[in-house]
Amino acid sequence: MIYKIIELYRKERPDYIVILGDISELGEIERGLIKKLTEYIDPNKILIIPGNHETSEDIELLEKIYKIRNLDKKYIMKDNFVLVGFGGADVLLNVIDEKEFEEFLNEIKRKIKDKYIILLTHIPPKGSISSLDISGSYALTKFIQNNDKVILNVHGHMHETGGLEEIINKAKVLNVAREVKLVEIYDKKTKIK
Measured in residues, the chain has a length of: 193
- For the stretch 19-49, pLDDT in tens is 888 776 655 566 677 888 999 999 999 999 9
Rounded Cα–Cα distance for residues 112 and 119 (Å) = 13
The pLDDT assigned to 103 comes to: 95
In the beta sheet, which residues pair with residue 92? none
**Alpha helix locations (H) across 1-75?**
2-12, 33-40, 56-66
Residues 6+ apart with CB under 8 A from 104: 73, 86
Strand 28-29 versus strand 24-25 pairing type: antiparallel
Which is nearest to 52 in space by CA: 155, 147, 127, 143? 155
Rounded Cα–Cα distance for residues 19 and 50 (Å) = 8
The pLDDT assigned to 31 comes to: 62
Q: Which residues of the chain have a pLDDT value below 50?
A: none
The pLDDT assigned to 88 comes to: 85
SS3 content of the chain, % helix, strand, coil (to 5): 30, 30, 40
**Alpha helix locations (H) across the chain?**
2-12, 33-40, 56-66, 98-111, 138-145
The pLDDT assigned to 2 comes to: 79
DSSP string, 151-181: EEEEE---GGGTT-EEEETTEEEEE-TT---
| pTM for the structure as a whole | 0.89
- Contact indicator for 153, 174 with CB cutoff of 8 Å: yes
Q: How many CB atoms lie within 10 A of CB 27?
A: 12
Please report, as a single letter, which amino acid is at residue 56: S
The superfamily in CATH containing domain 2-192 is Metallo-dependent phosphatases (3.60.21.10)
